[in-house]
Structure formats: structure tokens, C-alpha cells
Structure 1
Amino acid sequence: MILRGERRADFAYQAVYRYMINLINDVSTDARVKLPSLRQLAGRLNVSISTVQYAYSLLEKEGRVYSVAKSGYYAWPMSVNPLAWAAGDLLDRLYAAARRPGMVVLSGDEPALLASLDSNLLRLERELVRQYPQHLQPWSQPCGVWELRAALAARYTSSPTRCWHADDVYIGADLRGVLDILIDVLGLRGTAVIVESPCDWLVLRLLQDAGVRIIELPWTLQGRLDLVTLDQLLCDEPVHLVLLSSAVSLPAGVAMPTQDRLAVAQMLDQYGCWLLENDTYGELGFTEPQAALRELVNPERLMVFSSFEKVLGSEAPYGYLLSRRMSSELQRQFLLRSFRLSSIRQRAIARLYQSGRIDQHLHTLHLQLRQQAEDMRQRLDQHLGDQVAYRAPMAGATFWLGATKPVDMRQVFQRLLAQQVVIAPGELFSVSGLHQQNLRLSYAFHGQPDLDIALAAISEALHQAQTG
């Protein structure tokens, strides 16, 4: 396997990363397995040691490997026996189960599995490599290449007062890396942050690990936020930042009514509070989009984060941030992180935006997501009936289900593992014990699993796990 060369050296770490994923899956056993050293892999794949180091760091962040001082890297044990997963961290068990061969993985949230632009990106890369030989592919753009930053700035600009410039955009290796920087720059460690609930577990865990006091503001069964409680919290608590979705909040799958958006914007302005807007699903709504929150709040107290992966696919893992303020500190932090991003891949993504190909792709993806959502809705009604209640999703690729009778959802999760089905229990989307009667199910997945068998297994597990 040769990775060096003028055409591929710029994104060699991605090929090393994919090679390591396959290697980990091949060697996974009930015991820990030592992986090849940096030097061994560099020699085997004909790449630099720093390239291998970066691929390993990505795998470590994802929880696929861990390092031991003066010993090397090891793959986490992944038992084939579901009983061995009964203890330990729930999210770690979910990840381990999802990586086992033969599992029907309904726990994910990857809309682009239905229609990705991976092949388009690779084709554009081949064209761009001829225009930008290796010596014209510098690593000295720590905040991202100008072309992509400018394309994103243009896409987010909506008026002369709601405008963004390339210098306001920062691109990192992935969403986790961008959010890590954001936590440092905003000085969130030890502070209180209001977060809508349910909330993505990646965001929750990063805030929790940073020592942030997370105040959860749950969505109601009617698909609204409790604005009275929000006002009270902003009045009584030392909160300087509120984290809310731009358009549709997932996994709840609800969109805030227009009057509520206006009320939230007025509250944030009244209390001088910053909005951190999660725009990860901002372009994945099924209906005509309402004005995003960022269009209503003070742009000087606004930051927006998102990623390309949900829309474009796994070949575009980068995360990004938009902010008009604290530019010098953001630039310093991105420079310190030294993200080794493929300049060719970023330019290829920029071309997709500039050519309008993204909008064509989104139109196709929306149609497929709506069709899949309707198919899943019919299957849910057929197999689960009155065992669950849900609101039809307005975006994304998942359903947020609530059990209508008290159940032990961890027991449901465990029983389904024995049936080779993986779900996402609702408690993963909270840090204070909320949503224990909920689960998230995806309707965009790898392969063609027999959904009827999987949903019948879920129905039986819900029945057997009833607690009242």
C-alpha cells in the first residue's frame, strides 16, 4: 500500500485512518490487542511518522484505541458476548456494539448515508491536484483555506447587517476539535451554560469533561421550550451562554415556533447573554426553513458551529465555527492545535458550494430523507403501535420515541444487543437523568437490514422491560 506521491500526500492521514479502522476490526477480541507502532506503520504504509501519529490521535479521540506510556497503542476489547457489555459506560458499550460485525445499527445519525458526495469530492480532488501540485499545498493555513472560509461566509450572509467574512470562519479537523477550542476561548470551564435537552451527546460530554455546569432546558411534549423557566434561569443564574439549535432541534426533531424564537432573542438581548448556535442540522429540514435564531439575535454576541459530515458524508469530517469576536484568540488557538487539514479536500468542498452542487445535493437528500421517514413511520405504527409515542421528525435521519408505559430502557438496550440490534437510549442525551423513557432510532443506515425483524425485536424488548 503506497501512500506517498504528489497526488495523495496531502491527505495521507485519511488513508492511514481508514487502514487502521479495518485493522482494528480485524484484530478485535475479548482481550486488549497491541497495535503496530508508529515506526512500524510508517514503514508498512510508506508514510511519515507524523502522519501515522495524527491518524492514531483521531482514533483515540473517537474511543477506538488508547495509548499506554512507553508501550504503544492498543485497541479496546470488543467482546462478541453481549453479556460482557452489561457493565461500564453506556456510550462506550453502544460504540463497541455498533462496531461488531452483523449488528443492525439503528443508533446512529448519519443523513448522508442516503446520498453522500464522497465520489464528487474525490473526483474534484483529482482535478485540483493537477492545478495545485504538492509544493503549492501549504500546511500554513491553520484556520482553513481561504476559498472554503469565503464560501461559508457567503452562504451564511443574509443582509448587509447579517454578514460574515472569510476571517470570521474557522475550520478544524472535526467538530470535537472545534468545540474544544471554543470551550477554551470562551473560558467556559467552571461556568454555567444553558443547553436545550435532549442534546447531542458529543456536545454534552465535551462540556461535562471541561467542568462546565450544564443547565438543561427540556423541550416539552408539545414541541416548545419553557420560556418562563428560561427567563427565570437567565435572571437567577450566572449564565453568559445559551446553546440552542438554529432551525430544528435533534434528536427531538422539533422546530421552535416563530413567536418563541423572537421571545428567546429578546431575552438573550435583555440579559446580555451569548448565543452558541448549533447549525449541524440547519440545512437538513424537510420544509421551508424558518429564520434561524442567528438572524434574530445580536450578531456581536453570537457564535455558530457546524460540520460538513451530516450533509456531505464521511469524506468531509471537518467542523467549523463562525464568530465576529475574539479573532486573535481564536486564531492563536487554531494555530496551537496545528490541524493538518488537506488543503485539496477543503478546496474541493469550496468548489461544491461555489458551483451550486451542494444545493442540488440537498434537494435530492431532502427527498430521500422524507421518503425514508415516511416508510419508517409506517413500520413504527405497524410494529410498535401504542407502545411508543413520537412526533414526526422535521429534519435529520432519526425518530425520537417515548415509551408509553414505564420501562427499563437500559434493559431494552441490553436485550436488543442479544438480538444483534443497537439502539440509542434516551439517557445518553442528558447529563441529569432526563429522557430515560426515550430512545433514538435511525432510518439511514449501512446495508439493507431487515427492519421488520429489528422492529419486532424492539417491540418484544419494550414489553419484557416494563416496570409497572
Structure 2
Amino acid sequence: MTLRGERQADFAYQAVYRYMITLINEVSTDTRVKLPSLRQLAGRLNVSISTIQYAYALLEKEGRVYSVAKSGYYAWPMSANPSAWAGGDLLDRLYAAARRPGMAVLSGDEPALLASLDTALLRLERELVRQYPKNLQPWSQPYGVWELRAALAARYTSSPTHCWHADNVYIGADLRGVLDILIEVLGLRGSTVIVESPCDWLILRLFQDAGVRILELPWTPEGSLDRPTLERLLRDEAVHLVMFSSTVSLPSGVTMSLYERLEVARLLSQHDCWLLENDTFGRLSFDTSHTALRDLVNPDRVIVFSSFEKLLGSEAPYGFLLARRLGVELQRQFLLRSFRLSSIRQRAIARLHQSGRFDQHLRTLRQQLGEQAVRMSLRLEQQLGGQVSFRMPAAGAAFWLASTRAVDMRQVFQRLLVQQVVVAPGELFSVSGLHHQNLRVSHTFHGHPNLDIALAALSDALRQAQTG
């Protein structure tokens, strides 16, 4: 089979993606199935290895496949019987359930489901294809195209002191690939890292796989920074770096006050500690007046990471980071990874930034998310009043709920699967047994015709899973 000559409106990776979806559906069983290697598929479909790698990256983000180091890619097991998901790794079960047809997937936090720029991005990309003939494009730009790197540097510059240049920006195939590089460059294997908690499970699992010792810093019940605990950990532990969100910490929805951010900056300076800033949702804060943490600390001790996908949609899966130091080490690791990213797609994203279309989209998306959050909060009060507590999210597309009574949240999760509803239990956002009485629920969900039915099922599951 060859994909050369697919319809002109398609790019090669899209044809590969469709082929892989069909292949996965053909081979999926109740047990994991090893998929063809990058090289095998490249030969079979007559496309480049980088095209296969890009399609696999999209499938991995969607939870359809997962990678095993030095082994390859595997399709997640699929089972039509919810009782078959009762055992095994909780995250594996969540991904498997979310793939089933007809499920109400309330487990995610995907703002771009509400409004994406996928269509505009592809239209702009087709225009750029005519302007940049393939034979005139650079063979390799391992750190990303200059136009996009310059656009990101300009966007993150806030003052003559806290300024960034294109050479400080590195773009990778996805957020996971960028974080893998950071773990290597910063020498985090076997080191100690402080992370805010709850924390994204992708980050937690990558740190765990690298043998990083994770110290979790939960927010106080009032939603404030536990500064005494942070100070004690920095004083008593050999902490390599601290990871905080730029403005809003998700899924908790907590925003540090300016005083708290200044205190964090003071402590990091006092202990000469690196700040790893998660800016994945920074542009989606409903209150845009907040000063990002990175603008309050020594810029030479800051690394910022983020991605385009949460803001633009699935057609922009790239991850990126900004760092003023470690240039030689970062360049080496990006060269070793040999990311073969579409230069046209990157230029299209750069044009969205330069034209103002990106900022216009963000304003619209923030407004829609805020309105959706208000409607969801009313529904939660109506359907779950007294069963859960929550605060209005300050960004993103999900609520962080806490059960007001002791429940077995895994039992809640399992009962909901039978009702074709998927939620994200809070324990997934911790590595030390925190958040067992919490769950994340999206307000930009898809796959169910009636949100009230899904919330009623959640109410019943919480009632039946009470343990005291």
C-alpha cells in the first residue's frame, strides 16, 4: 500500500492517521497488541519515518496507543464489558473506557473542544504550501522554525530583564517529548523535585519513570500556598527544582496571590533553586491581570514549558520550552531526538500569532469557557448539591470536585462506566495517596446527549459508594 497520491486536500500524516485508526480497530482485543514499528509502517505506506512518528504522537495523545521504551507502540486493550475494566492500572482503564463508542467522557480538560482553530490553521497551511515549495524548505530545523520561535519569544517577553529570544525557544513533536528532554538535560533522574498537588498525571508518570523523587505540595483547604511546608522542604531536602503553574494551577483551579508568588520567588532565590513553570493553561486564565511567576524570579533559573494543543486544537500538538541557559545541552538533546516537524504547520501557527488571530481566538475561548463554567456550576449545584464541594475554576475546562462524605472513588468510577460515563478519580493526580475523595469533571465534554443524565448517574454512584 502507498499513501502517495492521496487526495490533494490531505497531508501525509492525516492519511497515515486514518490508516492507523482502521488498523487499531481491526486488531484491538481485551489484551494489549503490539503495533508495527515506525520503520515497518514507513516502508509499508511509502512515507517518511517522521510522518509515521507524527501520526503515532496524535494517536498517543488521544489515548489510542502508548509507547514502551525500546519496545515500540501498543494499542490499548478494548473491551465491550465494563466489568472487564475492574482490575489493573486505573489510568489504563480510564483511557480504555474513554475510547469506547457512546461514552460520556467527563474525564478530560480540553478547552479547544469548545472552540479550536483547526480549520483556520489548515486553511492557512495550504496557502503557505504554495508560498514555500517543498524543494525550497530547509531539510532540517531541529529546534523548530525560526518564525515560530521568534513569535513565541516575543509573546513571553515582558520587560528588558525578563526577555526571551528565538534562540531560547525549542519546539518538539509534543509535550511528552519536550518533557523527556528536560528530564535528561536537567539531570533529574534520581533527584528530588517539588510539585504542586494535584498535578497532571502525564508529568507525574514521566517523573516516576525517570526515578525522580517527587515531593508533593498540596494547596491548603482554603486554596492558598502552604508556604511553611515549601520553606521547610527547600531547607531540609536536596531539592533540584520546583514546578509550579504560571498563573492557575489545574485541576485544582487555584491561583496564587501576588504576595504568594513573591514569596515563592524569594524562597527560590534564597535556596538557588530552579523554577520549572507549567504554562499549559497560562493563556486561559479568566483573569488576565495576573503576573506570571516566571516574571518574578531570576530569568536565568527558569525553564517554561507549554504546548499549543490546549489553546488551538488537535492539529497543533507541538510542545515547546523556553530556557535562557542550558543551550548547548538542549541543542544536543533536540538534535539526538531528530524531531521532523512540519515547517509549514509551524509557520501557520506563527502567522496566527503575528496576525492577531491567536489573541482574538483566546479572548473568545476564555469568554466561552467562563460562560460554560457558570452554567456547569449551576448544574452541579442542582444535581450534586450537598454531595460535593467545589470552587469556580479560574481557567481551563474542568471542575475539581471533593466528595463531602467518605466514598470509595474507584467504586464511583466503576459504577459510572456501567452507565457509560467516564470521570477522572483524584488519585490519578498524586503519587503519594492524596486526593482520594476528589475527581475531575469536564464542562466541555463530548459523547453524551444529555449532561443532566450523566450528572444524575454521578450522584447515584457517589451515594452508593459511601463508606461511612
Q: TM-score, normalised by structure 2?
A: 0.94
> What SS does structure 2 have at the residue aligned with 1:283?
helix
Residue 453 of structure 2 is matched in structure 1 by: 453
Residue 441 of structure 1 aligns with an amino acid whose one-letter code is V
Question: Are 1:87 and 2:87 an aligned pair?
Answer: yes
Pair 1:367–1:4, CA change in 2 (3 A): same
Residue 150 of structure 1 is matched in structure 2 by: 150
Conserved 8 A contact 1:10-1:342: no
- How large is the RMSD of aligned CA atoms in angstroms? 2.5
Conserved 8 A contact 1:243-1:276: yes
Residue 144 of structure 1 aligns with an amino acid whose one-letter code is G
Per-residue deviation at 1:11? Answer: 5.5
Conserved 8 A contact 2:102-2:448: no
Residue 199 of structure 1 is matched in structure 2 by: 199
Per-residue deviation at 1:77? Answer: 2.3
Residue 240 of structure 1 is matched in structure 2 by: 240
Conserved 8 A contact 2:426-2:440: yes
Per-residue deviation at 1:340? Answer: 1.1
- Summarize deviations over 1:115-148 as a string: whole Å, max 9, x none: 0000011001111000111112334110000000
Per-residue deviation at 1:7? Answer: 10
CA distance in 1, matches of 2:365, 2:294: 24
The 5 A counterparts of 1:369-448 are 369-447=369-447
- Summarize deviations over 1:7-51 as a string: whole Å, max 9, x none: 979952344134313442455333555656768755764534663
CA distance in 1, matches of 2:139, 2:36: 27
Residue 248 of structure 2 aligns with an amino acid whose one-letter code is V
Conserved 8 A contact 1:117-1:312: yes
Residue 186 of structure 1 aligns with an amino acid whose one-letter code is L
> What SS does structure 2 have at the residue aligned with 1:386?
coil
Conserved 8 A contact 1:78-1:96: yes
Per-residue deviation at 1:395? Answer: 0.3
CA distance in 1, matches of 2:7, 2:144: 20
CA distance in 2, matches of 1:211, 1:130: 47
The 5 A counterparts of 1:5-20 are 12-20=12-20
Conserved 8 A contact 1:240-1:272: no
Residue 321 of structure 2 is matched in structure 1 by: 321
Pair 1:445–1:140, CA change in 2 (3 A): same
Pair 1:8–1:436, CA change in 2 (3 A): farther
Residue 134 of structure 1 is matched in structure 2 by: 134
Q: Give identity over the alignment, percent.
A: 79
Residue 183 of structure 1 is matched in structure 2 by: 183
The 5 A counterparts of 1:253-332 are 253-332=253-332
Moved more, 62-71 or 87-96: 62-71
> What SS does structure 1 have at the residue aligned with 2:466?
coil
Per-residue deviation at 1:55? Answer: 3.6
- Summarize deviations over 1:355-410 as a string: whole Å, max 9, x none: 00011001110111011101110110000001000011010000000000000000
Pair 1:68–1:372, CA change in 2 (3 A): closer
CA distance in 2, matches of 1:34, 1:333: 27
Residue 337 of structure 2 is matched in structure 1 by: 337
Pair 1:266–1:164, CA change in 2 (3 A): same
CA distance in 2, matches of 1:139, 1:463: 59
Pair 1:34–1:168, CA change in 2 (3 A): closer
Conserved 8 A contact 1:175-1:319: yes
CA distance in 1, matches of 2:459, 2:46: 51
Pair 1:126–1:366, CA change in 2 (3 A): same
CA distance in 1, matches of 2:8, 2:114: 27
Pair 1:22–1:258, CA change in 2 (3 A): farther
Pair 1:22–1:372, CA change in 2 (3 A): farther
Q: TM-score, normalised by structure 1?
A: 0.94
Pair 1:36–1:271, CA change in 2 (3 A): closer
Conserved 8 A contact 2:103-2:448: no
Pair 1:87–1:121, CA change in 2 (3 A): same
Pair 1:48–1:159, CA change in 2 (3 A): closer
List gaps (5 residues or longer) in structure 1: none
Pair 1:228–1:71, CA change in 2 (3 A): closer
Pair 1:167–1:34, CA change in 2 (3 A): closer
CA distance in 1, matches of 2:148, 2:187: 28
Pair 1:341–1:164, CA change in 2 (3 A): same
The 5 A counterparts of 1:63-78 are 64-65=64-65, 75-78=75-78
CA distance in 2, matches of 1:327, 1:386: 52
> What SS does structure 2 have at the residue aligned with 1:392?
coil
CA distance in 1, matches of 2:212, 2:18: 33
Conserved 8 A contact 1:10-1:134: no
CA distance in 2, matches of 1:466, 1:311: 38
Question: Are 1:251 and 2:255 an aligned pair?
Answer: no
Residue 368 of structure 1 aligns with an amino acid whose one-letter code is Q
Moved more, 6-15 or 240-249: 6-15
CA distance in 1, matches of 2:235, 2:375: 45
Conserved 8 A contact 2:409-2:436: yes
Moved more, 154-163 or 132-141: 132-141
Residue 80 of structure 2 aligns with an amino acid whose one-letter code is V
CA distance in 2, matches of 1:306, 1:104: 28
CA distance in 2, matches of 1:90, 1:243: 25
CA distance in 2, matches of 1:67, 1:344: 27
